[in-house]
Amino acid sequence: MMNTGITGDLIEVLFVLILGTAAFVITQRALRSLFTLYAIQSVILAAIAVVLFAEHRTVSLLFIALLTLVIKGFVIPAFLRRTLVVLPTKRDIEFSYLTPASSILLSAVLLFIVYTSFSNVAEVLFSDRLFFLGGVIGVSLALMGMMVIFSRKKVVSKIVGYLTMENGVLLFGLFIAEMPFIIEVLIVIDLFMLIVLSTIMAFGIDSSIEAFHKKLTQLGMRFED
Amino acid sequence: MDFPEFSSGIEDKEAVVQSLFWVGGALCLVATILPLVLLFRPSRLLRQAALWVLLAGTGAISAAAILVISRSLDLHLTLLSITPQLALSFRLDKLSCFFVVIIGAVSFCAVIYSITYIAHYKSERSKQFLTSGLAFFILAMLLVVASSTTFGFLFFWELMSLSSFFLVMFDLDKPETQKAGIFYFAMTQMGTIFLLASFLLLYRFTGSFDISAAGNIPQWGKGLVFVSLFIGFGTKAGIIPFHKWLPYAHSASPSNVSALMSGVMLKVPIYGLVRFIIDVFRPDLWWGIVLLFFGSITALLGIIYAFKEHDLKKMLAYCSIENLGVIVVGLGLYVIFDFYGLRVQADLCIYGALFHTLNHALFKSSLFMTAGSVVQATGTRDIEQMGGLIKRMPGTGAIFLVGACAIAALPPLNGFASEIMIFQAYLTSFSLGRPILEILLMAGLAALALTSTLAAACFAKAFGIIFLARPRSGAASAAKEAPFAQLLAPGILAALCVGFGVFSYQLISNVKSGMPLPDILPIGIIVLVLTGVTFLLLLLTRSPVRKTETWGCGIPSQTGKMEYSGDGFSEPIVTVFKPVFRTRKLSTREFYDKYNSIPRSSSGEIGTLKFFEERLYMPIARFFMKIAGAVSNLHNVDMDALILYSFIAVVLVILGVGWWL
């Protein structure tokens, strides 16, 4: 059980940092910084897992931290950066439905909504306040990732949104659901495959989804002939 | 003791009824499947065999129902029990069997008619389909009225609606048929939804799907159920303003099907109303007023619309609306008189309504069948293209005349016999002692009287324009008499019309004695004698006929164009009811110059506003089209928007969690 003291404070600080990176992910236009932000966010997540391990002494937490650090902190961002080589534009300035400013405002509202909604069921679901905060921030992070997916036009940014969402799920899992380690590993492998595939298809990654779809259909028609 | 013997006698009868019912149903099912056995090689033999099997099936079920009525039996049968609550079970009592007899007898004649009628279609595939659909439609109708649970009722009701929908869509290449199909499908489904709602409400209140258990529910719930049932049944029965599908569907479908739809299917919702209002619930006064109001409007508007129609089958369809209105008036009056405890008047009304249901089934199917023969012979439904058919199709003409006299409520025919019962009840309603209600009843009486008059005028026009004078088109002058089966079937029905009219007093007193009714038998004898004497005199005093060209004011010979037309006949009455028809005169002019002095072209048009279609149905349809368009725009989107939707959904779920938990 998480008591007061240094670990609790530390985790709360890390929560704030995570929210900060999420806000930057929503607004950042330069792609290289976007990837770096994602790497930082993943490292913070790993740090949270380590702090939790220090408190709970569950070995799987350590593994999760390690896995997150290596794959999400270094390998995936490295793959993403390689796509920049073929991308003609290095900045994503196209947005749909939401501008970055309104996205920030909306995420604040979302955080509030999730907080109040969860506080109604807090007694049943969460064993203490820190876990409750972890759940709230995990869900909010997932929703922010979703916002990134639908508000950005470029596929690479969408991928970052998806990765952010997954980070949210991981955070939620760390504090609430006690996700089995094996599933955590599988999710990471999924992510990894996604990134690899995306880099392979880097020829289409500069375009938006519609244009990409068009290219795919052309490909399909060639096969039919 | 002869008591045990007596009871075993009853059990014997029940066993007979039961086996007749099952055998009849099974035969109808066989007739449905038989034409489809050789799906890709339609066989004429199998099709004919199916019709004979169907004939036997309807005969068996009718016999069972007649046995039930004559022995006052009350049988419960179960076909299939999915759970103890959801069962397809049947109840054969006097009321349901009365309707089974109507359906069975008319279907019997319709099947005879179909034997040669179906043969005139070109494609073997469509003949095969029509035979099978007909059998299934008849079976579904029979089982609706026999059902004892709301579940079974709705199940067979929907089978009936769907099979009739496919039959309406028979000529699906014609745009007119497509329009009819869409109207029919949308409206019949709307009706079903209201029925479903009321049955679910009943289940909510009583916890049972049994129809007879529906009586004990709270007063407000009863009112709600009644309104919902009224809309549901009213849509099927063509009660104005839910009637619009009826003229389209009846005119678009093959004539044997329209005879069944108009003669029989419209009676099924009447059965529903009677069952629920009289047998299950104890109705409130306002139910009666609602029924009376809508019934009167339906009767009057139905006949007014029928009058200006020159599509033969549409005219008959509007007349069906009128007659259904009369039946609903009877039911409404029953509720009112029953509420105030006037037994005699209440009995007059309910027996009058039920008798009129039977009579309408007889004469309307007979009329639709003869109309079908006429349409088949002339190739058109426009009565302005007919004329002079009595010389070319004397049998059909005579049967149509009997049907027309019956529907126009001329004594001594059956239409008169049943309408007089409702008039009788109206006329004795002064004993009610409630001034406002009496004024309402007098207004209703006036409306009913006007309806009857217009019905007579309408059929004077129909018979005159179709059968009398000279042919108005080449097709009419080349018309040939219908084959024997197509004369036999409506002929049986016409004979029943005469029989039920002349012996109505004896029939009704057999069922319920002491009703203040006129005995039509003497009138019948007088009419018979007078007709005989007239014919005899004609024969005796016949002078030799000299055949020569009449002097035509210097014009060499008369043509069909010089005859009195149907539109000419109806013009005075159309003028009187101008506000109802909303006659519109449209004229457009185009000019060569901007000062509008050199006309280029002009056009003029006189039409009537289809009030319900243009002011009620189409706005509703457009509203839903708009919603449908918006919804379709919502899901024809790119991936981003789909993710946005799921985002919104997730946020809503989170909000919901916070709100309710």
Three-class secondary structure assignment of B423-485: HHHHHCHHHHCCHHHHHHHHHHHHHHHHHHHHHHHHHHHHHHHHHCCCCCCHHHHCCCCCCHH
Q: What is the pLDDT of residue B6?
A: 44
Question: ipTM value of the model?
Answer: 0.80
Cβ contacts of A114 on chain B, cutoff 8 Å: 654
pLDDT tens, position by position, B354-403? 999 999 999 999 999 999 999 999 989 988 888 889 999 999 999 999 99
Residue with tokens 């004892």: B148
pLDDT tens, position by position, B456-498? 999 999 999 999 888 888 888 888 899 999 999 999 999 999 9
Q: Is residue B630 part of a domain?
A: yes
Q: What is the pLDDT of residue B61?
A: 93
Q: What is the pLDDT of residue B294?
A: 94
The chain-wide mean pLDDT, for chain A, equals: 80
Which chain A residue is nearest to residue B644, measuring alpha carbons?
A150
Asked if B647 lies within 8 A of A150 by C-beta distance, the reply is yes
Q: With beta carbons less than 8 A apart as the criterion, state whether A121 and B661 touch.
A: yes
pLDDT above 70: percentage of residues in chain B: 96
Q: What is the pLDDT of residue A179?
A: 64
pLDDT at B317 over 80: yes
pLDDT at B301 over 80: yes
Mutate to test the interface with B, among A106, A117, A210 (most CBs of B within 10 A): A117
Q: Tokens standing for B86? A: 């959801």
pLDDT at A224 over 60: no
Beta strands B583-591 and B87-92 are: unpaired
Asked if B640 lies within 8 A of A121 by C-beta distance, the reply is no
pLDDT at B204 over 70: yes
Cβ contacts of B652 on chain A, cutoff 8 Å: none
H helices then E strands: how many in chain A?
Answer: 11, 0
Over range B233-244, report the average pLDDT. Answer: 90
pLDDT above 90: percentage of residues in chain A: 20
In this prediction, residue A4 has a pLDDT band, given cuts at 50, 70 and 90, of: low
Q: With beta carbons less than 8 A apart as the criterion, state whether B81 and B49 touch.
A: no
Q: Tokens standing for B283? A: 């109705």
The chain-wide mean pLDDT, for chain B, equals: 87
Rounded to a whole number of angstroms, the distance from the CA of A104 to the nearest CA of chain B is 15
In this prediction, residue B5 has a pLDDT band, given cuts at 50, 70 and 90, of: very low
Cα angle B107, B110, B116 (rounded to 5 degrees) comes to: 145
Rounded to a whole number of angstroms, the distance from the CA of B637 to the nearest CA of chain A is 11
Q: Is residue B43 part of a domain?
A: no
Domain that holds residue B587: 578-609
Rounded to a whole number of angstroms, the distance from the CA of B636 to the nearest CA of chain A is 14
Which residues, 6+ apart, have CB-to-CB distance to B226 below 8 Å? B276, B277, B281, B283, B284, B287
Cβ contacts of A116 on chain B, cutoff 8 Å: 658
Q: How far is the CA of B263 from the CAs of B108, B316, B320, B365, in angstroms?
A: 12, 11, 8, 5
Q: Is residue B635 part of a domain?
A: yes
Using CA atoms in the order B42, B46, B51, B53, what is the torsion angle rounded to 10 degrees?
Answer: -150
Q: What is the pLDDT of residue B123?
A: 82
Asked if B643 lies within 8 A of A146 by C-beta distance, the reply is yes
User: What is the C-alpha separation between A41 and B332, in angstroms, rounded?
Assistant: 76
Rounded to a whole number of angstroms, the distance from the CA of A10 to the nearest CA of chain B is 28
Q: What is the pLDDT of residue A202?
A: 58
Q: How many residues would you count in chain B? A: 661
pLDDT tens, position by position, B539-575? 888 777 777 766 767 666 667 777 788 888 888 888 8
Cβ contacts of A124 on chain B, cutoff 8 Å: 661
Higher-confidence residue of A156 and A179: namely A156
Rounded to a whole number of angstroms, the distance from the CA of B650 to the nearest CA of chain A is 8
In this prediction, residue B136 has a pLDDT band, given cuts at 50, 70 and 90, of: very high
Cβ contacts of B650 on chain A, cutoff 8 Å: 143, 146
Higher-confidence residue of A184 and B630: namely B630
* A&B contacts, CB < 8 Å: 50
Q: Is A95 helix (H, G, I), strand (E, B) or coil?
A: strand
Cβ contacts of A120 on chain B, cutoff 8 Å: 657-659, 661
Q: What is the DSSP letter of B593?
A: S
Of B638, B646, B651, which is closest to A209 when you measure between CB atoms? Answer: B638
Q: Which helix (H) or strand (E) holds B605?
A: strand B599-608
Q: What is the pLDDT of residue B81?
A: 79
User: What is the C-alpha separation between B36 and B22, in angstroms, rounded?
Assistant: 22
Q: What is the pLDDT of residue B454?
A: 93
In this prediction, residue B121 has a pLDDT band, given cuts at 50, 70 and 90, of: confident
Over range B280-288, report the average pLDDT. Answer: 87
Over range B425-439, report the average pLDDT. Answer: 83
Q: Tokens standing for B562? A: 């010089």
In this prediction, residue A222 has a pLDDT band, given cuts at 50, 70 and 90, of: very low
Cα B311 from chain centre: 17
Over range B502-512, report the average pLDDT. Answer: 86
Higher-confidence residue of B608 and B589: namely B589
pLDDT at A205 over 70: no
Of A117, A150, A209, which is closest to B654 when you measure between CB atoms? Answer: A117
pLDDT tens, position by position, A9-58? 888 899 999 999 999 998 888 888 999 999 999 999 999 989 988 888 88
Higher-confidence residue of A88 and B615: namely B615
Asked if B650 lies within 8 A of A143 by C-beta distance, the reply is yes
Cβ contacts of B655 on chain A, cutoff 8 Å: 113, 117
pLDDT tens, position by position, B509-519? 888 777 778 78
SS3 for B103-152 is: HHHHHHHHHHHHHHHHHHCCCHHHHHHHHHHHHHHHHHHHHHHHECEHHH
Q: How many residues would you count in chain A? A: 225
Q: Which residues of A179-208 are buried (b: 16+ CB within 10 A; e: fewer)?
A: beeeebeebbeebeebbeebbeebebbbeb
Q: Is B281 helix (H, G, I), strand (E, B) or coil?
A: coil
Q: Would you call A209 an interface residue with chain B, using a CB distance cutoff of 8 Å?
A: yes
Rounded to a whole number of angstroms, the distance from the CA of B264 to the nearest CA of chain A is 56
Q: Nearest-CA neighbor of A97 among A150, A161, A156?
A: A150
Q: Judge if B601 and B626 occupy the same domain.
A: no
Over range A156-164, report the average pLDDT. Answer: 86
* Encoded amino acid at B165, one letter: F
Mutate to test the interface with B, among A146, A165, A169, A210 (most CBs of B within 10 A): A146
pLDDT at A225 over 50: no
Q: Would you call B119 an interface residue with chain A, using a CB distance cutoff of 8 Å?
A: no
Q: Is residue B592 part of a domain?
A: yes
Rounded to a whole number of angstroms, the distance from the CA of B630 to the nearest CA of chain A is 18
Asked if A149 lies within 8 A of B643 by C-beta distance, the reply is yes
Chain A contacts in chain B segment 622-661 (CB below 8 A): 638-641, 643-644, 646-647, 650-651, 654-655, 657-659, 661
Q: What is the pLDDT of residue A217?
A: 53
Total structural domains within chain B = 2
pLDDT above 90: percentage of residues in chain B: 45
Of B639, B658, B661, which is closest to A116 when you measure between CB atoms? Answer: B658
Q: Would you call B5 an interface residue with chain A, using a CB distance cutoff of 8 Å?
A: no
pLDDT at A167 over 60: yes
User: What is the C-alpha separation between B242 and B233, in angstroms, rounded?
Assistant: 10
Q: What is the pLDDT of residue A15?
A: 92
Q: What is the pLDDT of residue B4?
A: 41
Q: Which residues of B230-258 are buried (b: 16+ CB within 10 A; e: fewer)?
A: bbbbbbbbbbbbbbbbbbbbbbbbbbbbb
Q: Where are the domains positioned within chain A?
A: 6-224
Cα angle B221, B226, B230 (rounded to 5 degrees) comes to: 155
| Number of alpha carbons in the 13 Å side-chain half-sphere of residue B359 | 38
In this prediction, residue B308 has a pLDDT band, given cuts at 50, 70 and 90, of: confident
Rounded to a whole number of angstroms, the distance from the CA of B280 to the nearest CA of chain A is 49
Residue with tokens 């990765």: A163
In this prediction, residue A2 has a pLDDT band, given cuts at 50, 70 and 90, of: very low
Q: What is the pLDDT of residue B269?
A: 94
Q: Is residue B626 part of a domain?
A: yes
In this prediction, residue B14 has a pLDDT band, given cuts at 50, 70 and 90, of: confident
pLDDT tens, position by position, B31-85? 998 888 876 776 788 888 999 999 999 999 999 999 998 888 888 888 877 777 7
Over range B589-610, report the average pLDDT. Answer: 81
Asked if A149 lies within 8 A of B650 by C-beta distance, the reply is no
Q: Is residue B636 part of a domain?
A: yes
Rounded to a whole number of angstroms, the distance from the CA of A54 to the nearest CA of chain B is 32
In this prediction, residue A220 has a pLDDT band, given cuts at 50, 70 and 90, of: very low
Q: What is the DSSP letter of B212?
A: G
pLDDT at B3 over 50: no
Q: Is residue B162 part of a domain?
A: no
Beta strands B87-92 and B75-81 are: antiparallel
Q: How far is the CA of B231 from the CAs of B187, B195, B364, in angstroms?
A: 11, 8, 24
User: What is the C-alpha separation between B102 and B98, in angstroms, rounded?
Assistant: 6
Of B640, B650, B651, which is closest to A97 when you measure between CB atoms? Answer: B640
